[in-house]
Structure 1
């Protein structure tokens, strides 16, 4: 094996190992470094390039992309908020009708937020009657093989972004979304409720750990990770 190839493998492996959950919470929103706007935009485009290489098995229901400005047949969608948009959303979530949680404090620290949704295959009833306007995400969704594959594909796209961010020394966090998945915020962002939020990816400044912030590490980073407890070799009687 060529040395360069070994070095590439080691770099990828280390990025996967180094990825970790970090909630970075700012008591007050951090100032926006406008000199880094173009660099941030370039970095996010690179991360989206990684997301597009995620595998998928099934195209989404055709109505999703023929009736939308996002016309891909892949089962995921990415909605990107830059630093200014994160601070604007931070201020919006301060609205007294929207309950405060850690999401708002992360928006005060984040350089960017990538809202990642997946598009469930409509139920038999919806296919028969047509999808109605929603007040909430289609949860529970129909449990079938297509939807299982859609979730797996969107998860791969998210993981590609997380590994790419880690390789670039960008602290990151995969959130389930909290209040970001509710109708008031979804309407504000213009993210259709027929899509299900799978991950809100927060990207923080590289020096976030050196700033005045509360940092909450992942509680399960090492729990249950011993290989022998979740993997086994199947012999099948072969000597």
Structure 2
């Protein structure tokens, strides 16, 4: 490989979650989105099930996603008596702040006999690859699991079946500033135990 450990460390330690509120109106070239998706496809996966499934929204597709999630939220919460007008409006507006949004799905392969949690973890690894690739291109990215993520009624819109999972949305856009946010992590020594004997 031509990548040095120092370069890998720099990329990993400079990955950030950048929220749609800090995106400008610039559209990311689809070749960058394709590179992000291609690298997602190289995540580790038990028995090569490759459970990740992605639906990419851009252009007019962002409005279609906004309408779908806002309308579904309203339908579900009005029945429950928990409808919130501000949340409804946020679901209508947030997608329009982005260049692209990638819906993240986990597709089950019942023949593989892989525990569901392993498929979820493999999909999460794919999203980490997306994060790292976006950062390498200096593209802002954010994995969100709000809105209609956990609504069973949302699955079919993204080509998912009952046994599959919608794991959220990866929001992408160009940051308004070229100043990358500083990172914040506690020392790894506080999170590790060594067993040497």
CA spacing shift, 1:91–1:148, aligned 2, 3 Å: closer
Tell me how far 1:170 sits from its aligned partner. 0.7
Residue 85 of structure 1 pairs with residue 85 of structure 2: no
Structure 1 unaligned spans of 5+: 60-72, 128-143, 211-216
Paired with 1:192 and 1:177, the residues of 2 have a C-alpha distance of 20
- Structure with the bigger percentage of helix: 2
Q: Out of 10, 16, 32, which is 1:43 matched to?
A: 32
RMSD: 3.3
What do residues 86-145 of structure 1 show as CA deviations (whole Å, max 9, x unaligned)? Answer: 1222234444536536554431211111111223465xxxx9xxxxxxxxxxxxxxxx96
Instruction: Calculate the TM-score normalised by the size of structure 2.
Output: 0.73
What do residues 74-95 of structure 1 show as CA deviations (whole Å, max 9, x unaligned)? Answer: 2221121123211222234444
Paired with 1:15 and 1:87, the residues of 2 have a C-alpha distance of 33
Structure 2 unaligned spans of 5+: 77-82
Q: How does 1:188-199 map to 2 (within 5 A)?
A: 188-199=157-168
Residue 97 of structure 1 pairs with residue 75 of structure 2: yes
Aligned match of 2:79: none
Q: How does 1:1-239 map to 2 (within 5 A)?
A: 5-6=3-4, 9-25=5-21, 36=27, 40-59=29-48, 73-95=49-71, 96-97=74-75, 100=87, 102-120=90-108, 146-204=115-173, 206-209=174-177, 222=184, 225-236=186-197
